[in-house]
A and B are shown apart, each in its own frame.
Chain A
Amino acid sequence: MGNLLVKKPKVTDVDRAILSLKTQRRKLGLYQQQLDTVIEAEKQAARDLIREKKKDRALLALKKKKAQEELLKQVDAWIINVEQQLADIELASKQKAVFESMKASTSAIKSLQSEINLDDVQKLMDDTAEAKAYQDEINAILGEKLSAEDEEEVLAEFENLEAELTVQDLPKVLASEETIQAKKPEIAKPKTVEDNDIDEELVLPDVPTKAPVVPEVVEDGSESASVGISTRRKVLEEPLPA
Chain B
Amino acid sequence: MQRLGDFKLPHFFNYPPYFTLQPIRETREKQVQLWKELILDYCRTQKIFVIGLEEEFPLFSNPVIERSLSHEAKEAFLSALVSEGRAEWMDRGHKRCLILWLRIQDWADCILRFAKDNGLEDTVMTVEEIRSGIESRGTELHGMDRTVLMRALKLLEQKGKVAIFKGASTDDEGVKFSL
Interface contact B154-A1, CB-CB below 8 Å: yes
Chain A 1-40, CB-CB to B under 8 Å as 1, else 0, gives 1110011111100011111101100100000000000000
Size class of the A contact interface (CB-based, 8 Å): 10 to 19
Question: Which residues of the other chain, B, contact A10 by a CB distance below 8 angstroms?
Answer: 163
Interface contact B159-A6, CB-CB below 8 Å: yes
Closest chain A residue, CB of each to CB of B157: A1
Interface contact A19-B159, CB-CB below 8 Å: no
B165 contact from A1, A6, A7, A16, Cβ within 8 A: A16
Question: Which residues of the other chain, A, contact B41 by a CB distance below 8 angstroms?
Answer: none
Q: What's the Cα separation between A2 and B157 when bound, in Å?
A: 10
A9 contact from B125, B128, B172, B178, Cβ within 8 A: B178
Closest chain B residue, CB of each to CB of A90: B123
Interface contact A23-B160, CB-CB below 8 Å: no
B122 within 8 A of A: yes
Interface contact B122-A19, CB-CB below 8 Å: no
**Distance between B169 CB and nearest chain A CB, rounded to angstroms:** 11
A11-B163, A19-B167 known, 10 other contacts, Cβ within 8 Å: A8-B160, A9-B162, A10-B163, A15-B174, A19-B126, A20-B171, A23-B167, A26-B126, A26-B128, A26-B129
- B-side residues, CB < 8 A to A, are 122, 124-126, 128-129, 154, 157-160, 162-163, 165-168, 170-172, 174, 176-178
Q: Which 3 A-B pairs have the closest CB atoms?
A: A9-B178, A19-B174, A6-B160
Q: List 16 A-B contacts (CB under 8 A).
A: A3-B158, A6-B158, A6-B159, A8-B160, A8-B163, A9-B176, A9-B178, A11-B176, A15-B165, A15-B174, A15-B176, A16-B165, A16-B171, A20-B171, A22-B129, A22-B174
